[in-house]
Structure 1
């Protein structure tokens, strides 16, 4: 049980530190903390309290306090686990739930818990199982049903994967806990079967660990990656600014003296020297353009937020790139269903979508289809850009947002900064950007914005 306590509280802490403002994160963290409380209660009852009782110097009053703490933690687990689980699934459910109902639910669902304290547990039982089972079982069954419906109804590929992972992590553990913690004690008088919860909790933690490393779980992977990328981008921004300043000064000197030498060579009729100086001047101009472009894509993004139409930004960008699509035989299909006012930096998002659409076209050199979708969920606005190109393998996909990483080797003036810039702009808009790709099956980019920050009513 020590592992259960440490494991669940660690996951809960990581999740709440990842995104404390998001209600789904807060509720799923609450599930981890309430479940971990049961593990801590077992550690107190099995190890700590017997150890204290066996050693001199501890009074009966001290031991009684520790026993009260054990009982309190046990009830936090028994009563809190079904409650926090159902609240999480209500908030996590993608279909709109009436605001009044969602506001009243946390208080209404506490009523059976309050009533539970009016019943006296039998013998040494920690809770009145016969009554508690009447509300905990429906709470867990309804929560599992909501998770299943949310996962199977989700049409967005990336979001469906995340919902499936969440269901796989939560549903088996809660269903098993329903039998071991409530049904078996209430109907069969089996009280200690809850100790086998350890194995399903290990399974849950394994699912969270693996999915966090590969796909992300409730934003956990994104947060870790964001911190790494933020640090890298800040270092690059500072470094390129210093480097650009130094190079521009030296390039300016080279250009000045090259022009002087060119004039001297021309005056003396030295055609060969004049040609050589032209090569030097061309090279310095290339260096200057290269550094200017690098600095332009690594400098700090300063947003100019105004009211725009996101669907109009996407349409205008697609229209501007129409010649490129036609030349590359790229067929464009746009399904833009979100047509409401949107607060954003129009210029920066135009650059983001230009990068994404251009990347998609370049990934289909022999022609293909570009699907662009814009839609809304209960809490987010999602843009989806999908191509039918060659795709990327897992190794490429892991590094795709890293600055200076590129899959377009040999392309002129391509420094692998496009997607890093896109990521940075989307993050500045408090949005999220994810990429799903498989070799031979194309690439899909998902961008999601919180309605709370961007949508106007």
Structure 2
């Protein structure tokens, strides 16, 4: 069992060094938390494992024995007086405070009590004797502050994947430091280290540290391999190259994809307007021209917002009515829907407002509606938009009665540049872009059903926290007769 203490500090130190080497600037304090947290198991390993191994073999000279003894005492001192401080700093520098200058100032202020407590021990107590009650309260305050700072860092993060990473880090280090505090800073009463023995007054819970620490290290390794941890991913280099190449071209291609959709609407409206003018229907021609203006305004807005790369989508969030979004998506597409004899049904089982990026959500819904229109033949069909409130998500469904998606293609449709449409104007980026937008909102996009020749249902899942129910809901009156609205209150 004593061999596990060696494995314990080696695993913590290895993880600390790996994080430090791969991203020193971002991971400095997290690394120091792991390094200082491993000091206690290092000190106990010397006493319980290393000395019992080398002593019978005659390898322990007086000078070497003295060196190992002083090293173990120094390691225990670092653990008791610096580990709570570094744990607090790891949470602070994870992003709880945005200003670097403010972080530095807080770091200095929090370092002073740690130094003073250690100075008191050095002046008034034996070097190798630790009375835990003298610094238990301060350690508890540092750990408590670290828990609060981890929570603040997680709450302040808006980017979806970084937020998930900070949540993982916060949970892992909060559990680890909490257990360390309970077993070592509360469970210990006093510790006196001698050459080669030690007197420890405790409740014995420290012996279970090895199980918790090795378990948390295993969790960190799991996330390193699966999703990445603190900016590190153990992935095949080829996959990284693929992602980089996609990022270089995704933004321009998405822009081309959006322009293509809008030009189709403008072409149809232009032809329609020309017909109205030749037939002397000036009122209808003015209405068509207003629709053209709406399409071009949307296109200009899209051009102004799309970044150079797809992963540079930046949300500008507002609170907007769900009816307003759906109406804004369907109204510019009305001419296209009429030309294809497509009936539209809008069923609002749950009405209210969404906290979202209005422009990107409109573009996402426009892509899904355009896909639905393309999937239905020239004889027409039915396009259904439905809203549903589930336990964890607010859902917007887009369903069609088109040709569906073959099962062998379902796994590929979200890949950039993959398309089932056999024409040079489709780049296979609509669903990829929609997926990126939903991830930025902390949600997801799923295909609920896509049976061949039986239509497709796509679902946008928004975290339920983004759904706001107004105190009073107005009655929805469709702006065009093709939309049928069903409100269930």
Match of 1:6 in 2: 10
CA distance in 2, matches of 1:211, 1:434: 22
Q: CA deviation at 1:100?
A: 4.9
Contact 1:74 1:126 in 2 (8 A): no
Match of 2:282 in 1: none
The one-character-per-residue Cα deviations of 1:5-49 (angstroms, maximum 9, x if unpaired) are 232223223333443332xx2221221122223333332222223
The 3-state SS of whatever aligns with 1:218 is: coil
Match of 2:52 in 1: 50
Q: Which has the higher helix share?
A: 1
Question: Which of 163-172 and 82-91 deviates more?
Answer: 163-172
Matches within 5 A, 1:26-425: 26-94=28-96, 96=97, 100-115=101-116, 116-120=118-122, 127-148=130-151, 150-151=153-154, 161-186=164-189, 189-190=201-202, 193-220=205-232, 223-225=233-235, 227-232=237-242, 366=383, 388=396, 406=418, 408-410=419-421, 412=423
Structure 1's 87 and 55: CA in aligned 2 closer, same or farther, altered over 3 A?
same
CA distance in 2, matches of 1:148, 1:397: 38
1:442 to 442, 455, 460: 460
Looking at CA atoms only, which structure, 1 or 2, has the larger radius of gyration?
Answer: 2
Contact 2:85 2:110 in 1 (8 A): yes
Structure 1's 110 and 60: CA in aligned 2 closer, same or farther, altered over 3 A?
same
Q: Which has the higher strand share?
A: 2
CA distance in 1, matches of 2:364, 2:19: 30
Structure 1's 410 and 302: CA in aligned 2 closer, same or farther, altered over 3 A?
closer
Contact 2:329 2:365 in 1 (8 A): no
The 3-state SS of whatever aligns with 1:109 is: helix
The one-character-per-residue Cα deviations of 1:257-284 (angstroms, maximum 9, x if unpaired) are xxxxxxxxxxxxxxxxxxxxxxxxxxxx
Contact 1:355 1:418 in 2 (8 A): no
- What TM-score, normalized by structure 1, do the two folds share? 0.54
Contact 1:363 1:390 in 2 (8 A): no
Q: CA deviation at 1:229?
A: 2.8
Q: CA deviation at 1:198?
A: 1.3
Contact 1:181 1:191 in 2 (8 A): no
Contact 2:315 2:357 in 1 (8 A): no
- Runs of 5+ consecutive residues of structure 2 not aligned to the other structure: 191-199, 248-306, 317-327, 338-343, 374-382, 388-393, 400-408, 449-458, 464-489
- Runs of 5+ consecutive residues of structure 1 not aligned to the other structure: 238-300, 304-308, 312-318, 338-349, 371-385, 424-431, 446-457
CA RMSD across the alignment: 5.3
Contact 1:133 1:182 in 2 (8 A): yes
